[in-house]
Amino acid sequence: MTGIPANVNPLTRLEIMRLRFLMPAALLIAAAGCDSTLTTQPADRVPAEQVIVDASSARAALVGAYDALQSLDYYGLGIEMLGDLSADNADHVGTFQYLGQVDRNQLQADNTAVTDTWIAIYDAIARVNLILQKVPNVPGITDAERDQILGEAHFLRALHYHNLVKLWGDVPMPLEPLNSPTEAAAMTRTPKADVYTQILQDLAQAEQLMATPKQARQASLGAVRALRSRVLLYKEDWQGTLDAANSVGAMGYVLAQNFGDLFTDEGTDTPEDIFRVSFTAVEFNEMGYYYLFDGRWEIAPTADLYSAYSASDLRRDLTVGEDDGDYEGTKFPTTIGAEDLHVIRYAEVILNKAEALARLGRLAEAVTEYNAIRVRAGLLPHVLGTDVTSQTDVLNAIWNERRLELALEGDRWSDLVRTGRAMEVLGLTPDRAFQQLYPIPARELIVSTGLTQNPGY
Amino acid sequence: MHLARLLRCVTLCLIAVAGSGFAADAQAQTGSIRGTVLATDSTTSTRRPIPGAQVTVVGTQIGALTNDAGEYTIRNVPPGTVTVRAQRIGFTPSDVRVAVSAGATATADFSLVPVARTLSEVVVVGYGTTNRQNVSSAIASVTATEIANNPTAGVDAALQGKAPGVQVMQNAGNPGNGISIRVRGPASINAGNQPLYVVDGVPIIQENYSQLGMGGQDVNAVSGINPDEIETIDILKDAAAAAIYGSRGSNGVVMITTKRGSAGKTHITFSGYNGWQNNPATIPMLDAKQYVEIFNESAKNDGYDPSDYDFEPGVDDAQSYDWQKAVFRSAPVRNLQLGATGGSERTSYYLSGTYFDQQGIVIGSRYRRGAGRTNLDFTATNKLTVRTSLGLSREDNERIEGDGSLDGVVTNALGMQPMRPVYRADGSYAGRPEGLRYSNPVALANLNSTELETMRAFGNLEANYQLASKLRLTGRGGFDVLGLDETQWESPQVDRTYAASASGVGKSGHTGVSKYLGEGFATYEALSAPDNHLSIVGGASVEYNKSTLNFIRGEGFTSGFKTYVRNAANVTEYDGAQTTNNLVGFFSRADWSLKERYLVSASVRADGSSRFGEDNRYGLFPAASLGWVVSEEPFARGLQKVMNLKLRASYGATGNQGIGDFAARALASGAPYSGTPGSAVTQLANPDLRWETTREFDTGADLLFFNGRVSLTADYYLRNTSNLLVQRPIPSTTGFTTYWGNIGDVRNKGVDLGLNTTNVQLGGTNGFTWRSILTMTFNRNEVTSLFDGQPFTTGINGRETSIAQVGKPLGSFFMYKFDGVDPQTGDAILRDVDGDGEITANDRMIVGNPHPNYFGGFTNTFTLKDFELNTFLQFSQGNDVFNMMRIFADDGACTYDNKFADVMRRWQKPGDITNVPRMSYDCASGADAISSRFIEDGSYLRVGEVTLAWRVPAKIAGKARLDNARFYVSGRNLHTFTKYSGYNPDVNSAGSDENVIIGTDYYAYPLPRTFTLGISAGW
C-alpha cells in the first residue's frame, strides 16, 4: 500500500505529541524485566549439577542409591513377587493379567512386571554409577568416608547386576552415567560371564574400601561377603561359596531364635539380619498389600507351597495362611508395608554353605548346616544315613529347606533355574524352556539399536 | 514478587492511558444524540425494539446501550457531523450520519435487519471485535440461547454438536466431570490438546489440579465458568484466527464473552429449572442361574469333575441380586439464577447470582456450584471508559471412585457375582463373609467420601482511552485465583478394601493456583472510510502462573474418627511443592478491507516462555488471511439478489507449550531412605526443547441465499503439527525412561460445515416457522512422523491398547485380531500376524480407529404463536470404542466377575456358529485375550434435547408486570441409537488430560437422561 488516501485525516499535532510520550513509555514497560520474567528457578527441586559436590551431597547421593531399592518395582514388591510367581510358590488370583503371564510362564516381551523391574534396576544402577564417577573427586571429604561411600556403591552395583544376570542372562552393563540417549541406544549386551567377573570385582573393591563390619539397613562387610557366597553359588564355585559363607559366619551372625522374629510388624533387628531394605509407613513396600486377603490379594501362595510344610513346621502359618481353600501370604504382617524386607539373611548363607559342602561331597557337614534351619523351624534334625543318604538326597533336602525357609522372599524362581529343576518342577513343556530367561523388555528393543532379544520371545 | 511486578506494570499502563486522557479532556460545549433502535422483519414488515444494542459515535469512545424500549441517549457529543453506528449480535450493523450542535439534541433512529447467524454479527477475536462480514479466518460462534438451560455443569459440555469443527467428548457422565474438546482433531501426543479458554479477553486457568486420582473420572477448571453468565462463545478455529494467541493457540481458542449491562431502568431476570435424571440404559448382565450355568460349563469344558465345580445349581443360584439397581438412582438437578442489569449513560452494570445443584445418577456423587458475577462499565469521560469483569464461584464436588479403580462404584456393581447380596440380614453391608470378591459398591458410595471444594475468583480491569480520533489504547489487568481443598475418607467398614486393613484412610490436600496477567495494546484505525478500512492493533502481554500444593494422608483411625489426619495413627504420605511459569508476548494484527469486498488480515505474535531452554524461549507465530466478497463485485450484481458469497483463505502458525514447567532441565529431587535425607537425579536435560508448532491452511466460503433464509459456512483445513512435544521413550540404561523432545508430526485435515435454514415461515409474527441448524465435521487424523519411526503404545492400567504409529490415526487400537470362533473347538481364533505358529505380543495389530468419520449436531426449532419446540440431535459416525469392560465381563469365565448377558450366545458344542468363544475355567479359550472382539462400533445418534416452551403472551405478562415470561419442559439425552453394548459410546475412561488413549470404556459413569421443568422471567 502506498500513500495515504486523501479522505483520511492525518493525526493532529496534539495526537502526535501524545504518541511521542506514550510509545516510548509503552516500550519501556514492555521491555522491562522480560529476561528476568522468563528466567524461573524450580522451588521444589534443584539443578542436577548441584548433586555430589561436597561431603554432605555425596552422602545424600548414597542415601538416594538406597532409596532406589525401595521402588515398588524392585525390593518394594517387584523382584520378590517375580521370584515366587514365576515359580511354584505363588499363584495369580487378582485382576492384573500381566501377572497371570508371569504365573503361567507365558511371558510376553512387553510384560509390565518384567519391564518395570528391569527399569527399576537400571535406575538404581544409574544412581550408583554417578556416585562412583563423582565421589572420587569430591573435595572436602575424609578418605575414610569417601571409601565407605564408594564401597557401599560397589556393593550395590554388584547386587543390581546379579539380579539382572540371574533373570535375564546377558545384559547391557553401563559402568558410568549415560547422559545421552543416543549413546545408551547403542549399548550391546555383555556376556553373562563378563557380568559375573564385574560383580566379583565390585565385591572385591567393596570389601577393600568399606570399614563398617555390620549394619543391617546399609551395606557392610558382612553383606559383601554374604552376597559373594550367593554369587559364587550361582557361578557353581563351591569352594568359593564355602569360603565366603565361612567368612560371614566368622563375623558372629547367628540365626534368630524364632523364625517369627524376622517378620514382625515393626521389622525389629535380629542377629540374623545381614542386609535388609528399610521401609516405613511412608516409604512402604506392597508385599502385604499384594499377598493378604485384606489387601488387593492380587497374588497368593500356592496350595502346593502350603502342603510342602509339615503341620508341625513353625514356619507354615508364619508364611501361608489358609481360609476355606484360599491362601494368603502371612509372612508379611500388614497391608501397610512398613516392615523392612530381607535382601540377604544368615539363614540363606547357611543354606549356601550347606549346598557347597554337599556339592563338595562333605555330606555330614552339609546336613549339620541345614539342620540348624530345621531345628529352628521346630522340626527334627535329619540324620545322615537315615533321613538322607546320597548326595542327591542331601541336595534335595537343602533345596526343599531353601524353598520353605525363603518362601515369598523372591528366591525360588532363580533357584530352580540355577539348579536346572525349573522345567520339571513347574511341569513346563520343552517348547517353553526359553522362558527360563526373562524377555528383554520390548520397549528397550524398540529404543535401542544394540540390543537383541533372548531366544523364543 | 511477581504480583508486585505485575501491579507495577499494570499501574503504569493505566496511568499512562488515563493520565494523559484526563488532562486533555476539557469539557467543551457538547450536544446529545437520541433515538430508537428497532428490528425489522422483512417478511412481515413488523418492528420491535432491540434492547441492549450498542450505539456509538464512530471514532470515539462515546456511546450508549439501548433500553428495553430500544431507546438510547448519547450525551457529551462534540459538535459537528458524526457517524453513529448501532450494532447488536444477530443484526446487521447500521450507520447514520447526523449533525450535532452544541446544546441541542439530534435524532438518529435505526432499523436493523436481523440475521440468523450470518455474515454480519459481531465476532470476538483476540484483542478486539469485528463483524462477521470482515472475517477472513475460520471462527465459529455460539450464542447464549443455544447453550442455555443445559443441565450439565460445564459450558464445554453444552457446546457439543453446536459448532462445526469442534468435537466435544463427554468422557463420562458424573457431575462436574472433565470434558475433552478437540478443535479440528487432536494434534499433540504429550502436550496439551485442550483449546485455550479466554474469558473477557483474559486466558483462564483450565487444567486439572485435583490431587486425588479417581480412576479416570477427572475434573478441570473449566467447570468453574457459569454458563448462565455467558453472552457469546466464539471459537477461533484456524491458525490465522488463533495465531494472535501464539504459543497457546494450536488447539484453537474458545473466546467467552460474559453478559454486560445496558443503560436504562433496572431489569431483573430470573430463571430456574428443576429436573430429574436417571440412567437411560442398564447393561443386561447374567442372573445367578445363568451365572452358575456358565461357570459350571466352563469347568466341564476343561474336563473338571462335577464334584470340583465351584457352584452348586439350586443352592448358589437360589437368589439373584441386581447390583446395577443398587447403585443407580433417580436424582434431582436444579438451577436458579437471578440477575439484574441497568445503568445510567455513564455507568452500567450486570449482576448475577446462580446456584446449580446436580446429584449424580450413581449414589454418592453430587456437584454444586454457586457463582456470582459483577460486570461494570464506566464511561469516565467521553474518551475514557473503564470496565471491570469479576466472577466468583464456589464448587462442591462429591466424587466417587470410578473406571480404573478396584474400588470403583460402577466397576464393582458390574463385576459383582449376581448371587451375592448387597445387605446382610441385619441391614449392614455384605462383605467377604457373604462371598463378595470385591468391595461392596453400595458401601463404597455411602461410607466413603471424596470432596473437592473449589473457590475461585477471576476477572479483569480494563481501561480504554481514545487517545486520538483514530487511536485507542487499552490496558488490562487480569487475574484468576483458584483454591482447591480436597478431603477423602476411606472407611474401614468397607470390607475387602485396603482401608479395612488399615483402620481407615484419611487424606487432605490443598492446591492454590494463580494467574496474573497484564497487557496493553493500541488500536489504530488508520483508514476509516467505509470502502477503505484499515485497523491495526499492537501490544504486549505478560503473564505469571504459579501453583502450590500440600497433601497429607494418614491411616489408622479409631472408631468415630475420620478424614482428618490429626486423629490418625500414622502419616503415610505427604507432599508439598511449588512450580511457576511465566509468559511474555508481543502481538500485532492488521485488518484491511477495500471496497467492502477485499479483505486482508495479517497477524504476528512473538511469545517467550520460561518453560523452554534459554536459547529457545521465544517463538514467532505469523498468520495471514484473505477474503473476497464475490457478490459485492460489479460483475456479480445480478447474483447479489439471490446470494451473498464470500471466499476465504488463510495460513498461519500457532504453538503449544503445554508441558510441565522446567521440562528442559536436568533436575534432582529428594530421595530419602530410612529417615535420612537423600537426593537423586530425576530428570534428564534437553536444552534444545522448543515449541510444538501447528501450521494450518484453511479455505472456506460463507454463502447466504434468499435474503438470509439459507446460510452456509464451509471450510476445508489442513493442519500440520510438527516438533511435537513428546516424552520420548529412551533406553532405561540411562536411569530414565522418558525424555522431553520435539519429535514427530501429526496431520489433521478435514471439512467443517454449518448450515442454517429457515425452512418454513408462514403468516405474521405469530405464524408458523421452522428453522434448522446443521453442523458437521469430517476430520482425518494421521501421525506422519515419530522419532526413528518408532511407534509407541499406551493404555489404561498397564494394558497397552492404544498406539501412536506413523501413517495411522493417533490412538488407533492395537491388539490381537479376532478372526472368529473355531466351530470345532470353541476357541477364539487370534490372527498369527508374524506366522511363527504362536500368539505372542508380536501378533498385535491395528484393529480400530477411535476417531469418527464425521460428527455434528442438528437443531430444529418450530414456533407457532407463543409456543416453541426445539429439538437437538447429535451424532457421530465411524468411531470405534474399545469396550474394556469386556476384558472381565466377557472373558469366557476366566475371572469370577459377572458377565454381560450376551455371553449366553457362547459356543457350547462342536458345530456351533457364534462369535462368543467357549467358557473355559482355565482361561484357555482365548476369550480373555485383549482382541478386536472388544472393539465395537461407537457410532451413535442421540436425541440430545427436546424442549417445548410457552411464552406468556404480553397481555398476560403485562398484568403481572413482567416484561417477558417463559415456561418450558425439556428432556435431554433422551435416547441414544447405537450398536454399542456399554452405557455410552461417547466415552473416554482415560479422562480429559489424555491424548493417545481415546474411546476406551473402562466402567465409565453413564450419561444421565434428564427431564426439566423451567421458567424464565424478567421485569
Beta strands in B148-263 (DSSP E): 166-169, 180-183, 196-199, 202-203, 230-236, 253-258
Q: How far apart are CA B538 and CA B795, in angstroms?
A: 45
A281 touches chain B (CB under 8 A): yes
Res B33 pLDDT > 70: yes
| Model pLDDT for residues B869-881, shown as the tens digit of each residue | 999 999 999 999 9
Q: Where are the beta strands (DSSP E) in A37-122?
A: 46-47, 90-92
Residue B79 has pLDDT above 90, yes or no: no
* Overall size of chain B counted in residues: 1019
Q: Is B546 an 8 Å CB contact of chain A?
A: no
* Pairing between β-strand B745-761 and β-strand B738-742 as defined by DSSP bridges: unpaired
One domain for residues B110 and B199: no
A307: nearest Cα among A414, A427, A404: A404
The answer to whether A5 contacts B532, with C-beta atoms less than 8 Å apart, is yes
Domain check: are B70 and B184 in the same one?
no
CB contact under 8 A, B586 and A177: no
Q: At what angle do helices A143-168 and A112-134 cross, to 10 degrees?
A: 150
Q: How far apart are CA B782 and CA B784, in angstroms?
A: 6
The pLDDT score that the predictor gives to residue B642 is 72
- Res. B54 pLDDT band, cuts 50 70 90: confident
User: Please, which residues 518-537 of chain B have a Cβ atom closer than 8 Å to chain A?
Assistant: 520, 522, 526-529, 532, 534
pLDDT of residue B41: 55
Chain B residues with CB inside 8 Å of A11's CB? Answer: 468, 470-471
Distance CA A148, CA A210 (A): 5
> Which pLDDT tens digit goes with each residue over A175-209?
999 988 889 999 999 999 999 999 999 999 999 99
Our measurement of the distance from residue B347's CA atom to the centroid of its chain's CA atoms, rounded to an integer in Å, reads 34
| Cα angle for residues A317, A321, A326 (degrees, 5° grid) | 150
Where chain A has pLDDT below 50, the residues are: 1-9
Q: Is the pLDDT of residue B80 over 80?
A: yes
- Among B448, B483, B452, B485, which residue's Cα sits nearest to residue B563? B448
From chain B, pick out residues whose CB is under 8 angstroms from the CB of A32.
9
Residue of A nearest to B888 (CA): A95
Q: How many CB pairs under 8 A join A and B?
A: 276
Please check whether residue B777 lies inside any domain of the structure: yes
Pairwise pLDDT comparison (B161 vs A159), residue with the higher score: A159
Question: Could you tell me if B266 and B395 lie in one domain?
Answer: yes
Tell me the shortest Cα–Cα distance from B972 to chain A, in angstroms.
Answer: 37
B11 and B18 in contact (C-beta within 8 Å)? no
Is the pLDDT at B366 greater than 80, yes or no?
Answer: yes
| Kind plus residue range of the DSSP H or E element containing A61 | helix A55-67
Burial of B427 (0-12, 13-18, 19+ CB in 10 A): exposed
If you count them, how many residues does chain A have? 457
Judged by CB atoms closer than 8 Å, whether chains meet at A282 and B581 is answered as no
Check residue B26 and give its pLDDT: 39
Rounded to 10 degrees, the C-alpha dihedral B555/B556/B562/B563 comes to: -10
Which residues numbered 189-218 in A keep a CB inside 8 Å of some CB on B? 217-218
**Domain termination residue (choose one: B92, B114, B136):** B114
Contact A134/B at CB under 8 A:
no
Amino acid B824: pLDDT: 95
Tell whether the model's pLDDT for residue B2 goes beyond 60.
Answer: no
Q: Which residue has the cell 510438527?
A: B722
Cell of B764: 405474521
Q: How far is residue B438 from each of residues B282, B403, B443, measured CA to CA in Å?
A: 20, 14, 11
DSSP assignment of A343-412 equals: EEEHHHHHHHHHHHHHHTT-HHHHHHHHHHHHHHTT-PPP-BTTTB-SHHHHHHHHHHHHHHHSTTTT-H
- HSE-CB for B576 with a 13 A CA cutoff: 0
Residue A198, H or E segment: helix A192-209
Contact A67 B671 (CB under 8 A): yes
CB B874 within 8 A of CB B944: yes
Task: Check residue B103 and give its pLDDT.
Answer: 84
CATH of the domain at B984: 2.40.170.20
B357, pLDDT greater than 50:
yes
- In chain A, where are the structural domains located? 51-274+342-424
Identify the CATH number of the domain in which residue B24 sits.
Answer: 2.60.40.1120
- Give the Cβ contact number of residue B639 at 10 Å: 14
Q: Name every residue whose Cβ is closer than 8 Å to that of residue B307 and which is 6 or more positions away in sequence.
A: none
3-state per-residue secondary structure call for B755-789 = EEEEEEECCCCCCCEEEEEEEEEEEEEEEEECHHH
What pLDDT, in 10s, does the model give residues B531-587?
898 999 999 999 999 999 999 999 999 999 999 999 999 898 999 999 999 999 999
Query: For the range B212-215, what are the long-range contacts, defined as Cβ-Cβ under 8 Å and sequence gap of 24 or more?
Result: B212/B399, B212/B450, B212/B452, B212/B486, B212/B488, B212/B507, B212/B509, B214/B399, B214/B400, B214/B401, B214/B402, B214/B403, B214/B405, B214/B450, B215/B401, B215/B402, B215/B403, B215/B404, B215/B405, B215/B408, B215/B411, B215/B989
**Nearest chain B alpha carbon to A9:** B527
Helix A346-359 and helix A221-234, axial crossing angle in degrees, nearest 10: 40
pLDDT at A144: 96
pLDDT single digits (tens) B261-314: 887 788 899 999 999 999 998 999 999 999 999 999 999 999 999 988 989 999
CA proximity to A353, closest of A221, A271, A235, A246: A246
- The pLDDT assigned to B120 comes to 55
Is the pLDDT higher at A21 or at B917? B917
Contact between A202 and A223 (Cβ < 8 Å): no
Of the pLDDT bands very low, low, confident and very high (cuts 50, 70, 90), residue B14 is very low
Residues of A in contact with B586 (CB under 8 A): 30
Domain boundary among B114, B147, B173: B114
Burial B140-162 (b: 16+ CB within 10 A, else e): bbbbbebbbbbbbbbbbbbbbbb
Question: By C-alpha distance, which of B723, B687, B623 is closest to B188?
Answer: B723
**Which residues form the domain of B92?**
2-114
Which of B529, B669, B684 shows the shortest C-beta gap to A5? B529
> CB–CB of A126 and B734 under 8 A?
yes
B residues 635..664 contacting A (CB < 8 A): 661-662
Cα–Cα distance, B234 to B252 (Å, whole number): 10
Q: For B228-247, how does the pLDDT look when each residue is reduced to its tens digit (9 = 90+)?
A: 899 899 999 999 899 999 88
Residue of A14, A57, A67 best to disrupt the B interface, most CBs of B under 10 A: A67
Question: Which residue is it, cell 503415610?
Answer: B572
Q: With a CB-CB cutoff of 8 Å, which residues 292-321 of chain A face chain B? A: 292-296
In single-letter form, the type of residue at position A321 comes to: G
Q: How far is Cα B930 from Cα A343, in angstroms, rounded to an integer?
A: 36
The complex scores an ipTM of: 0.90
Dist CA A222 CA A207 (whole Å): 9
As given in the structure block, the three cell numbers for residue B652 are 498461519
B800 touches B729 (CB < 8 A):
no
- B411-466 pLDDT, tens per residue? 999 999 999 999 999 999 999 889 898 899 999 999 999 999 999 999 999 999 99
Segment B766-783 shows an average pLDDT of 92
Q: Would you state the pLDDT for residue B23?
A: 39
Nearest-angstrom CA–CA distance, B403 and B214: 8
Q: Say if residue B59's pLDDT is above 90.
A: no
Sign of the Cα pseudo-torsion (A160, A161, A166, A168, in order): positive
Q: Give chain B's mean pLDDT.
A: 89
Cα gap A172→A170, rounded to integer Å: 7
Q: What does the alpha-carbon distance between residue B575 and residue A119 come to, in Å, rounded to a whole number?
A: 25
CA distance B171 to B984: 9
Q: Are B242 and B654 in contact (CB under 8 A)?
A: yes
Decide if pLDDT at B46 tops 60: no
Please, are residues A290 and A298 in contact by the beta-carbon 8 Å criterion?
yes
What is the model's pLDDT at position B809?
Answer: 96
pLDDT at B102 over 90: no
Nearest-CA distance from A455 to chain B in Å?
13
Domain boundary at B60, B87, B114, which?
B114
- CB-nearest partner of A336 from B502, B733, B735: B502
Report yes or no: B921 and B299 within 8 Å, Cβ to Cβ: yes
pTM: 0.85
Q: What is the pLDDT of residues B652-704, one digit of tens each?
A: 999 998 888 888 889 999 999 988 999 999 988 888 888 999 999 999 999 88
Mutate to test the interface with A, among B22, B679, B794, B930 (most CBs of A within 10 A): B679
Query: B 457-496 residues with CB below 8 A of A?
Result: 467-471, 473
Q: Where are the beta strands (DSSP E) in B146-214?
A: 166-169, 180-183, 196-199, 202-203
Best A9, A15, A35, A45 residue to mutate vs chain B (most B CBs within 10 Å) = A45
Position B150 in a domain: no
Specify which residues B45 forms β-bridges with.
none
Task: Report the gap between the CA of A378 and the closest CA in chain B (Å).
Answer: 30
Q: Pairing relation of β-strands B366-379 and B347-359?
A: antiparallel
Same domain flag for B651 and B705: yes
Q: Rounded to whole angstroms, how far apart are CA atoms B286 and B294?
A: 9
Q: Rounded distance, CA B188 to CA B178, Å?
A: 18
Tell me: do B110 and B160 sit in the same domain.
no
Flag whether residue A443 sits within 8 Å of chain B, measured between CB atoms.
yes
Rounded to 10°, the helix A391-405/A363-376 angle is: 30
Question: Which whole-number Å values give the CA distances from A38 to B250, B518, B520, B578, in the listed order?
Answer: 21, 15, 19, 17
* Domain co-membership, B107 together with B193: no
**pLDDT above 70 covers what percent of chain B?**
95
Using alpha carbons, select from B402, B922, B300, B419 the residue that is nearest to residue A92: B922
What is the predicted pLDDT for the residue at B766? 72
**Could you say which of A47, A108, A296 has the minimum Cβ distance to residue B841?**
A108
Q: Which CATH architecture has domain A51-274+342-424?
A: Alpha Horseshoe (1.25)
